[in-house]
Amino acid sequence: MTTIKDIAEKAGVSIGTVDRVIHKRGRVSEETIRAVEKAIRDLNYTPNIFARRLKLAKPVTFGVLMPTMDQDSGYWRLPAAGIKKAKTELACHQVDVRFFHFDRYRPASFSRAFEAMLETDLDGLLIAPVLASLSAKLTARIPPERPYVFFDSTIPGSACLSCTIQDSYQSGMLSARLLNLLCGGIGTLAALRMAPDDYHINERVRGFQHYFSGGLSSGFVIYETDNARDRKSLKRLFRTIIEEHSGLRGIFITNAQTFLFARFLEEEGLAGAIHVIGYDLIQENIDCLKNGSIDFLISQQSDNQGYQGLYTLFRRVVLNEAVEKEIFMPIEIITRENIDYYQQQWSAHV
Amino acid sequence: MTTIKDIAEKAGVSIGTVDRVIHKRGRVSEETIRAVEKAIRDLNYTPNIFARRLKLAKPVTFGVLMPTMDQDSGYWRLPAAGIKKAKTELACHQVDVRFFHFDRYRPASFSRAFEAMLETDLDGLLIAPVLASLSAKLTARIPPERPYVFFDSTIPGSACLSCTIQDSYQSGMLSARLLNLLCGGIGTLAALRMAPDDYHINERVRGFQHYFSGGLSSGFVIYETDNARDRKSLKRLFRTIIEEHSGLRGIFITNAQTFLFARFLEEEGLAGAIHVIGYDLIQENIDCLKNGSIDFLISQQSDNQGYQGLYTLFRRVVLNEAVEKEIFMPIEIITRENIDYYQQQWSAHV
DNA sequence: GTATTTTGCGTTAACGTTAACGCACCACCC
DNA sequence: GGGTGGTGCGTTAACGTTAACGCAAAATAC
């Protein structure tokens, strides 16, 4: 392995000069810079990250802004598990994490949490920008030297270091295809848009609709509700859906609350008669998947999104590496046959 | 962060003694050992891996034993891509990799490659034990101090450091369910056992059969061939299959050669009329998936298996960490809708 | 009794990188 | 000509861990 000592020797300078060239700290003549850069290329030098980290080690703290864990039927426990796994792994690098939770159904709560985070001395921010327009306004106030990363969703055009991208439109198309398969192309299909102002959920429905735009199937209907937290009224909606469409063969639920419909079907003795496809590997959904009241779940690795997000901050802030601006998440199809192999890697960190 | 210096101070000894205790190098009195161990616990000491790696850095070379890349329709390029990705990432740790390829259809070739590898001075071995009984015999000859890891498959009861596990039986069941869905429960289904003496392929067929053991479907038939490399005779077999079963609606191909049947169907104008499910994300399969002549592909992350295998050796040999004895691979369902998000991460290393 | 080995411990020089410090030298200004 | 400021470089002390080395004192051998 070549070291800066080798570079210094080859270029006929001291290691101090080599370091100044590498880190562009100035106070080196043009001529010397060229000589050192040539030596670096010729000897194919790469810095020893261990020596670097040994020298530079200093504790960093990252802030995480996300809804409280119990919201959206516990969906937020998934990214939180990934974040905690990353935190555990990065503890040896003196990385610490502070959570700032908010109530995603109250903008004021979001603003308060954001302000609290901005006022804390943090080395990087990991943000779930669930309230899009408010997030855009508030992220603009982040000091330009403080790096931030989005997870779960993103704000187009923002100055974020990196973000995770889920192709929700495509996942909606995939869901449509699977649901159509399950129903054998006959009967009515339904889609339930759970939070009509959520970007991902709209994209999922758009993809779902597009699959059928060629007229592949018999009819389908779309319901929506922004009242997903009130389980009583949700149940009334469920009943309306099955009563208005006696020929209903399958339904597409667009968020983690899929299990609520599946359980409703169980209670009504309709499990299996109406096929269900939904989103996210929360425990309630997994249980329904295993007992057969949910046929397929789509996962976009919410846990991994949190994990990757924190690691991205680490790589940028601590290791000073270049990072990918966009991290694409796979669209995973989960069934009772393969679920066991998806659960294990994050389960230790719930 | 606490260092051995802190430990030494607290225990009233020198850092040399602390190091002797930590690494059990002897020459320390019982009493001192206890004092140091207590200090380590009290101060919650963890070694600084950067200082350690800086001090201990020395180049290591790992050997990889696997079939030549072009065998099995290029299947082996997948794990090779993962291994190369790991190699690139680990280059900064002075990890080098040497490949030992063999012809998996000639036991003598396997033995020769194995012997060549054993005679080389290597710090660890990564082995694809495709010829099970021969592998068992030869791995017994690996010196006990030399660590080895299996990928792609494993040999039960061997002294390997670690191995990747694919649940082939379960993936066969999943394939059966998907194929049954595609065909709407009518018509005849077929399974083609491509290499009857391969463990994984047998398990896949067993799982497939088991799914239908409850009598869920109309009939299904199982064909087999050990002549998968002769494309002419394979084509004759394909023709026999479709001629013997005019009501054939779907087929399950049990290895990476799925695209051969899909292309045959294309030539015969039967693409879409007979549904196809198969294995592995080789380029030919991906092309057929995209044009619709393959409906689903099952992936057990062959690329990731190679990647994980090399990383496991690295963690054990270089970082001296404890490693998982078994690494379970997910059973991934790939369709034309989600394939794009599975290709990217390894594609740079083919 | 002296000679030799063993035990128990402290000291020290690396490993490669970083950045503070200092020292010559030159340019410029009153 | 003396002072000030800047430029271009070399030197050096860390960072935490490791293991070779050395040195007393105790144990064993003859």
Tell me which chain A residue has its CA closest to the CA of residue B342. A330
**B212-222 pLDDT per residue, tens:** 887 665 678 89
Backbone angles phi, psi at A285, to 5 degrees: -65, -40
* Segment holding B111, helix H or strand E: helix B107-119
Does the fold of domain A168-299 match that of domain A59-166+302-328? Answer: yes
Other C-beta atoms within 10 Å of A177: how many? 19
Rg, chain A, Cα only: 25
> Which of chain B's residues have a Cβ under 8 Å away from the Cβ of A54?
48, 50-51, 54
DSSP strand pairing (B188-193 vs B95-102): unpaired
| Protein-to-nucleotide distance from the CA of B19 to the C1' of D18, whole angstroms | 8
Q: How far apart are CA A97 and CA A85, in angstroms?
A: 11
* Mutual angle of helices A132-139 and A107-119, in 10-degree steps: 20
| Protein-to-nucleotide distance from the CA of A110 to the C1' of C1, whole angstroms | 88
**In the predicted model, is pLDDT for residue B209 greater than 60?**
yes
Domain boundaries of chain B, sorted by first residue: 4-47, 59-166+302-328, 168-299
Residue A185: what pLDDT?
A: 81
Residue B173: what pLDDT?
A: 96
**A139-174 pLDDT per residue, tens:** 999 999 899 999 999 999 899 999 999 999 999 999
Phi-psi region of A272 (alpha: psi -120 to 50; beta: other; left: phi over 0): left
The stretches in chain A having pLDDT less than 50 are none
Indicate the CATH number of B168-299 among 3.40.50.2300, 3.40.50.920, 3.30.70.20, 3.30.70.1400. Answer: 3.40.50.2300
CA distance B54 to chain A (A): 6
Q: How far apart are CA A22 and CA A76, in angstroms?
A: 42
Which residue intervals of chain A are DSSP H helices?
4-11, 15-22, 30-43, 49-56, 71-74, 77-90, 107-119, 132-139, 168-183, 199-211, 231-244, 258-267, 283-291, 302-317, 340-347
Residue B350: what pLDDT?
A: 65
| Protein-to-nucleotide distance from the CA of B24 to the C1' of D27, whole angstroms | 23
Q: How far apart are CA B143 and CA B124, in angstroms?
A: 11
What CATH number does the domain located at B59-166+302-328 have?
3.40.50.2300
Residue B217: what pLDDT?
A: 57
Minimum CA–C1' distance nucleotide for B1: D16
Cβ distance A337 to B53 less than 8 Å, yes or no, reads no
> Which of chain B's residues have a Cβ under 8 Å away from the Cβ of A324?
none
Backbone angles phi, psi at A225, to 5 degrees: -155, 140
- Protein residue nearest nucleotide D12, by CA to C1': A16
> Which of chain B's residues have a Cβ under 8 Å away from the Cβ of A329?
341
Residue B218: what pLDDT?
A: 65
Q: Which chain D positions have some atom within 7 A of a protein CB?
A: 7-12, 14-21
| Interface residue of B58, B338, B340 to substitute, partner A, most A CBs within 10 Å | B338
| Protein-to-nucleotide distance from the CA of A29 to the C1' of C27, whole angstroms | 16
Strand (E) positions, chain B? 60-67, 95-102, 124-127, 148-150, 162-165, 188-193, 220-224, 248-253, 275-279, 296-299, 326-328, 332-334
**B49-77 pLDDT per residue, tens:** 999 999 998 999 999 999 999 999 999 99
